[in-house]
Amino acid sequence: MKFVSASPCRILAVIATVWTFPQAYGSGYGQLPFDMQEVKAPSIPEYTVSLIDFGATGDGHHDNTEAFQRAFEHLKEKGGGHLNVEPGIWLTGPIALESNTDLHLEHGSILLFSDNRDDYPLFRWDVADNPARECVSPISAFDKHDISITGHGTINGRGEIWRPVKKMKLTNNQWKKLYGGGTLSDDGHIWYPSESIKECTHEKIGGAAPDDDLAWESMREFLRPVMVLPVRCERVLFEDVTFENSPRWNVRPLLCRDVTLRNVTIRNPAYAQNGDGLDIESCSNVHVTGCTFDVGDDAICIKSGKDRAGRMRGAPTSNVLIEECKVYSGHGGFVIGSEMSGGVYDVAVRNCLFIGTDTGIKFKSTRGRGGAVRGIHISDIKMVGIAGDAITADLYYGRKAAGQHAEPVDESTPVFDGISISGISCTGAARAIWLNGLPEMPIRNISISNSIISAEAGAIINNADSVTLHNVNINHSTGSRLTVTNTANPTADPSAATAAVVSTQKRHSARLLNGVLSCKPDNLKLQNVGVSE
């Protein structure tokens, strides 16, 4: 095994084979690299009632929708309190939370939502003057304060009645045992829960007039709800509960302040279409700690609105601390984007474990989004068995192969500037690092340090400016260890010209071959970078 290090152009120093990963910052809000006030907990009166008191039956067959409504209306009249749900299977339709209330699910209780899509009417709501339509969420809260869902019970959103399923994501036996009813796509590769879901498309939705109620109603079943949706709420707590089997995303706090998720479990089948775990959107002061995710799409995701609507809303996600979390299945362990048009800043992620996710740390956006992502600090992340990239930042998300023709910079150009990643330990990935900016807007000021990544392929950096790799050891088995293309103002090293790779563009590109860095990019710093073979 050979370890090499880069001064401006030649790899010289030897790197230690024993690694320790001290935390970049300690525990607690005061140890964060940005100012963050302690997240406020909800204030809820001690008054407690039982769901049974309102005529509920936990046999899995009795409809308890009215019992939940009566219970929350009663708590509202009393000024708040706790609604206790005993062990049992509590079938219900949508639930609307009230201020100063706690929905407490005892161990052994299952909140099972209705499998009748007609129980979830279509509704229109405005978020910062941006009208939207979708089906009513199983659990929602609009403009409330001091709300919580606690206890060791389970909330099941009956996602199977909503989600299309792709055959490629299932085994043959799973496909044969797919839910009764429904219909198949014309090529037989996608199962749809209903004919109306099959016939609807995003293009059809985009062409519907905002006030054409009949057209929207015809598409209702396609407009799947988020399972848990607090909007414009303050002091929100989810603790110890299991959220599972959502119609679309599982938990989506939107435009909320002071949000805590502590020791919750969020699950979806691995094949769940759009089955995100947690989507924190346009929120401030958020603490996620000790949570476990096993989902069908992105696990822990930061968003702030999409395209012009997100920019007009102008509500960034900021002051977020995510720590001590574990992610199993998921498209990404920790993700920012692609809907980040309102901006994202001051986010810390530390001491997490990603096992078998498609990617580990993922930043994604594309032209048209706009918005800026700054002040992101990720440290002490352990990864095992990552199917794709351990670390990726791609500004061509959802597009075909990245072209190198610059486009004019305007408010729709996304900006990623100021990301610090340290203490990464990854055993097994398809590729170590993939940084892919735009020609007109390179990814800037990216620091990766004190990390060991074992992967099939090495690192590729394209359209980037001021990237620092410090004490990074990449163990790869195929291809080049490090490929750098279209960086700002690179200069070919004459002494290694025979190893240089020159692109067809105006800028030079460089590749690390056999321990020799064949260029000297002015804004790419390689300090004690370890590569092995």
Neighbour-count burial of 474, counting CB atoms closer than 10 A to its CB (0-12 exposed, 13-18 middle, 19+ buried): buried
Residues across the chain: 533
- The three-state secondary structure class of 221 is helix
Closest CA to 148 of 198, 98, 182: 98
Alpha helix (H) residue ranges in 200-290: 202-206, 213-218
Calpha distance 116→291 (Å, rounded): 30
Decide: residue 327, CB within 10 A, 0-12 exposed, 13-18 middle, 19+ buried: buried
Q: Which residues pair with 113 in a beta bridge?
A: 92
Place of tokens 């590109």: 509
240 catalytic per annotation? no
| Active-site residue, from 258, 279, 297, 389 | 297
* Placement of tokens 């899509």 in the chain: 117
380 is catalytic: no
Among 377, 386, 372, 318, which Cα is nearest to 340's? 372
Distance CA 483, CA 436 (A): 12
Catalytic residue among 287, 331, 377, 476: 331
Q: Is the Cβ–Cβ distance between 437 and 462 less than 8 Å?
A: yes
Do the strands 509-513 and 234-239 form a parallel or antiparallel pair, or are they unpaired? unpaired
Question: Are 460 and 431 contacting, i.e. CB atoms less than 8 angstroms apart?
Answer: yes
Give catalytic residue positions: 297, 331
